[in-house]
Chains A and B, each alone.
Chain A
Amino acid sequence: MTEQVEVKPLAVRMHNIHKRFGTVQANDAVSLSVRAATVHALVGENGAGKSTLMSVLYGFYQADEGEIEIEGRPVRIPDAHAAIALGLGMVHQHFMLVDRLSALDNILLGAEQGFFLRRAQAMARERLLALMQSSGLVVDLDARVGDLSVGDRQRLEILKALYRGARILILDEPTAVLTPAETEQLFAVLAKLREQGCTVILITHKLKEVMRLCDQVTVMRAGRVVHECAIAETTVEQLAEAMVGRKVSLGRSEPAEEVAGEIRLVAEGLRFTDAMGCVRLKEVSLSLRAGEIVGVAGVAGNGQSELLAVLSGLASPQAGRLQLGAQTFGVMPGERWLDPRIARQLGLAHVPEDRHARAMVMDFPAWESAVLGYEALPAYSHKGWMRRAAMMAATAAMMSRFDVRPPLPQLGSSKFSGGNQQKLVLAREIGQNPVLLLVGQPTRGVDIGAIEFIHARLRELRDAGCSVLVVSSELDEILALADRVLVMNAGRITGELPIEACDEKTLGMLMSETDVAQVAEEVEA
């Protein structure tokens, strides 16, 4: 097997790539060699330079120094068009699709041949059907992209790249949005493409997936390549250590020692319909106790976000009841059922899923974002005037306690990396000693090192008697953190399990069960 790999020619050779942005050396003498017809993993923390490297390869950026060879020929790649012409294809983490157009039109967009659309469509359809057959990427070409599932959209993106003649596919965090089943499917497709001679570069931070699918791996840290080897010769632990630069442990911790305490929150019969008339929560009931972490598992978009929004007062359900400590909240037509300000006063803290839109004001300096929601506390304002010095001191304290880097309260909120933003938000929310903490996607877009840190803080909080609800689309995270797991699917809670009864397979089934039923319904109709 190893010998076979050696024989294959190089599909991509990047040599001595340098790229700097201002004072930041994003790529420092990076060299990457990818053999044809292999799946090559490029792993590293956020900001390690892997996206920059791929952007240089795909023509978004020009390297300050260095050479690129594609299939043995030295090339210059001034823009994405040139990259496509050279047989490169990129599938971004955030899909580049037009929701209102059909799948077919999306593939055609920008690659229409000739003046008449209908003929181009017919020609494209023919070629695509053949492509779908050979690659196993099956998508309904006439469906509107807006109606397609995330997995379908991703297949569509890959198909789009192949249609444009890509022989070298770059996939940026492709599994971040997929269910375990969809991930399986994707990997099967990638394996098949590899067999057919396609080269795949996989940017990811999920090391287990790397181990399963890839042939070769390159680890980057701080703009440099720090490790490079064949998958057969390495382990997850080794890779994680190379990525972070020290040993990390992301395994399960001990579950809560004592039996969970008093009930802190009870929600009953929550029903929520969004502005589009789509029912997002159907009769959801749950209770949270002191001293436990409850994990909500589920594929993104099955009502977890809405559950968080409703529990924190950001959205008001159409039916249901909420008991927070001694207070009860019911549905009030035309009015907010729970003012987020009152929720905070009752000790309910919330780390929202969407850091950029909710958790911080990106235009604010960090010290202003660090008091958001708590600005009326006497520590931060007095008689209507903000206490700037106190706010700044408090922010500096949060930053040192939560190891936020760089520890500069004056720096703009948007200038911090995702992990550091998250740590600051967590510091703010935990800082007021909440009795209840709702956390959405605690480690989305966060580096491994910071994940470890954030998990530790959440466990500390639980051990101090706080009741924590964690919503995460990462099963590993739920398994690592939770004492009790709720599974959400299509707006319902489809399972409640103590952590001892959980494993990836059981949860995966609960997460996608009704999905299958729904698909069956749709097929019949």
Chain B
Amino acid sequence: MISFFKSGATPPMPRWAELVLMPLVNLAIAFALAGGVVALVGQAPGLVLETLLQGAFGSLRGVSYTLYYTTSFIFTGLAVALASHGGLFNIGAEGQASIGGLGIGLLALWLSNSLPWYLMWPLLLIAGMGFGALWAAVPGYLQAWRGSHVVITTIMFNFMASALLSYLLVHQLKVNDGMAVESAPFGASAHLSGIHQVLASLGVEWPSSPLNLSFVLALGAAVAVYLLLWRSRAGFRLRAFGSSASAAEYAGINPRHQTLLAMACSGALAGMVGMNEIAGVNDKLLLDFVGGAGFTGIAVAVIGRNHPFGIVMASLLFGALFQGGAEVAFEVQGFTRDMVVMLQGLIVLVSGAMSHVVAGPVARLVHACSRREASFTEKETQHG
């Protein structure tokens, strides 16, 4: 009987506890575990944590770097989450981001010397999104019409993207006299302004950093994804399809179109990484500019529970770990970046894979506390 499965022994958790308390508890557990490992290898966990936080948030420069890393993670996290709402596991954000960057690079090489920035920026965005979308649409098409699973094809497409980028850079786009495998630099109009430049023009002093306008674009993308998924008809259908393909079929929603749409939108989001890395920072096309952000996006989406707000928060967390970790590796003797990778791994493990392990005890605790304050009205409890 169904009631067997419906009624677990765990009391239901209020929404605020699930959305705010649980991630914090999980995060604390991950940090505690990591602290244990740090102590085991003979380092002081307190010092490491302090240096990490100091590096990530202790100075305007640190914050800027943190937000710069955050930007790429938001794009790829949103990409993975959007596909996931359509019931698809897009492991190809890495490749889609590379190809999006390639599109941005090619357009910049072609037009950056002849167009002004206010035409160039939108065109760059369209190129990045378009290339990313097309690259992701192919696996989408293969799944929808030919039955090849996107998990397999997107992995393969990551390798193909990497190979394509290498080939183009080494054989077609490389500048002859340089040692590095990179294209010629773009014209100035293809450079997305840094935040410090924008703030300087407004009269605010801000240290120079790679943080650029893409960060604003990323926040905009998060809002757009929210509106698409939860406010638009297309999003309604996409979520219906992703949650229950059979119910969607019953509702007359075409599964092939949804698969293609979800992958294309996902790829477009991933393609925007190029705005941050290529147009915002490097001003030329080069190898490996995505740097694993596509894969980190999977972790970000998992920890952010596939919700744009959660993804922005999770991206901030990973951005801080990235920046703070670099600082720790630099400052603390005998502490390598691998330790930071371990911390990331523990966070993914605890907050993602094992996020419900402590849900039961926490729920009972919350339940016990809220029962004690039974005189409170429901509303006040929610705020508390």
Residues of A bordering B, CB below 8 Å: 21-24, 26, 46-47, 51-52, 55, 60-61, 92-93, 172-173, 312-314, 339-344, 350, 352, 354, 357-364, 368, 372-373, 375-376, 381, 384-386, 388, 414, 418, 445
Contacts and interface: CB of A to CB of B under 8 A. Distances in A.
B249 interface: yes
Contacts of A46: 3
16 contacts: A47-B3, A51-B3, A52-B3, A314-B250, A340-B249, A343-B252, A350-B250, A352-B250, A358-B246, A358-B247, A361-B239, A361-B247, A362-B243, A364-B240, A372-B247, A372-B250
B7 interface: yes
B251 A372 contact: yes
A93 B2 CA distance: 10
B231 A385 contact: yes
Contacts of A24: 7
B3 A373 contact: no
B370 to A, nearest CB: 11
A375 B7 CA distance: 31
B250 A375 contact: no
A378 to B, nearest CB: 11
A418 to B, nearest CB: 7
A361 B243 contact: yes
Q: Majority SS of interface residues in chain B? A: helix
Given A47-B3, A363-B243, A373 B252 contact: yes
Contact of B234 (A354, A363, A384): A384
Contacts of A384: 232-234
Interface in B219-249: 231-234, 236-237, 239-240, 243-244, 246-249
A55 B237 CA distance: 39
Q: Which of A46, A372, A381 has the most CB of B within 10 A?
A: A372
B232 A340 contact: no
**9 cross-chain pairs, A with B, having the tightest CB-CB distances, nearest first:** A341-B252, A373-B251, A340-B252, A22-B11, A363-B243, A358-B250, A21-B7, A357-B246, A51-B1
Q: Give the interface size bracket for B toward A.
A: 20 to 34
A23 B367 CA distance: 10
B105 to A, nearest CB: 33
Interface of B: 1-4, 6-9, 11-12, 231-234, 236-237, 239-240, 243-244, 246-252, 367
A418 B2 contact: yes
Nearest to A93: B1
Nearest to B12: A22
A342 B252 CA distance: 8
Contact of B231 (A22, A55, A352, A386): A386
Given A51-B1, A386-B231, A372 B243 contact: no
B4 A361 contact: no
A51 B2 CA distance: 9
A331 to B, nearest CB: 19
B4 A339 contact: no
Nearest to B227: A385
Given A357-B244, A372-B247, A373-B251, A386 B1 contact: no
Given A172-B1, A339-B252, A375 B243 contact: no
Given A51-B1, A55-B4, A93-B1, A340 B250 contact: yes
Contacts of A414: 6
B7 A368 contact: no
Nearest to A352: B250
A372 B249 contact: no
A409 B367 CA distance: 24
A237 to B, nearest CB: 26
Q: Which of B9, B237, B250 has the most CB of A within 10 A?
A: B250
Contacts of B250: 312, 314, 340, 350, 352, 358-359, 372-373
B178 to A, nearest CB: 48
A92 B1 CA distance: 8
